[in-house]
Structure 1
Amino acid sequence: MTLPTTDDAQLRTSDTGAEMWEFAEDADPAEARRAYPSGWLWVTGEDAVRSLLVALLDADPDARYGFDDLASRVDADDAAVERGIDALISLGVLVADEGTYRVNEHAIVYHAAGELSRAVEATGAPDDESGLAYLARLESVRLMLDALLEADRDRSLTQEDVHLLTGVSRKRVWLHVEKLVDLGVLEETGDEYRLGPESPILRLVQSLDAAVVGATLAPSHP
């Protein structure tokens, strides 16, 4: 299965997580996270994959879509659309069906992405934008969420901590961390941040992450 990031990327699992941090000793933490993407970064890291998944969240599961139908839903060239389709087939979200494609509404990745998108929409996404698109549009936010997947709920983080964990520049952390505060993923405590105890969004990001890893490692799709 080809990862929708770079050709030499290795999916981050419990077995490869330590390798990411070894790589990070000689590289930018952001580069290390891209080289060892979590399931969350796997599915949101390439524009065409993310945009196609977002577009399909409202698709008719009984409909059949041709390549041109899917390509018209994303702003990408044909090669990128093909990679997006291949990625979503391998995750069980799309099923190839006699030269067309249909959405598998029962796929755990599809279900997890839909739940996350609706939770973001209920919390603060603009009315004209999908919750998943709003949450995952910026790489800085994707990387910060990636770092929070396994964060200790009792630990406070400064903006400098977030910078060191993610490789996101200090300026971009300062600019975009408030998005996670507004969505309840983080709450401010003075000059520090803690995981928000009431927000379902981080939990649903974790669910999507686990769904992608599970589908990637043990595919069993129709």
Structure 2
Amino acid sequence: VIKGVNFQPVAFTGRIDQTEREKKRITIPDFLLMTEEQTNGTICRDDWFSVPQSTSISRFIAAMLNKQVLQFTIHPHCGTVTYIFKDGDKLIPITRFVDVDGLFEYLDEISPQISNTNFQIKKAGLTSKALHKISSFIDQKTAPQSINVTKMIMDFFNKGTGEALKPFHRNSLFLGSMHFQDPYNFDIERVQRCGIHYATPDGRVIPFCAYNTIHRQEVEAKFSKPFYS
């Protein structure tokens, strides 16, 4: 069962002519436009959001449960995602029935209030208020009718656990794109906020794009061993 598809635009290695490179280069915005075109608007450019936007949810769960949770704080140019639901013969992106931007803005507003409250009764009151408000960002009329999406989403927000999130993933298709860098589009700010790393035998932890672009040949020359069949 395929539950997710992640697209990786090509990264160039070695020397390449600028004209040829520009002709073959596909950026994340290019990918979004091609997806919109090839799905006849079923999945359009506005249906996607950047990976670090998910930290709005992570911070809320952390505030609600009063503990640290994983946050994907990578650079916004590194990746984009969306979720697709099937309703009969139709494919419905999550953004068609969830006000994602409004939800994230509200979570960013309420999470610090919950985190900064030391009184448990007040914290519980703020959390209860927030959970009630969160449901208002979901439009059940435009949501898939074959499944209760509102219940799945609210179950997760109420419990904040990986187990509670499983029904959401079982009933949706994850779509994503991550654009790895090459020498022609290398961005230091992206490297500084990398979320995928290589660990080398000499104990270094190197960001993925920096490893492929700068360090790979040196590391392989130093540590590789011949394989004999």
For Structure 1 versus Structure 2, the TM-score category normalised by the shorter chain is under 0.3
- Larger C-alpha radius of gyration, 1 or 2? 2
TM-score, normalization by structure 2: 0.26
Q: Determine which structure has the larger strand proportion and give its number.
A: 2
TM-score, normalization by structure 1: 0.27
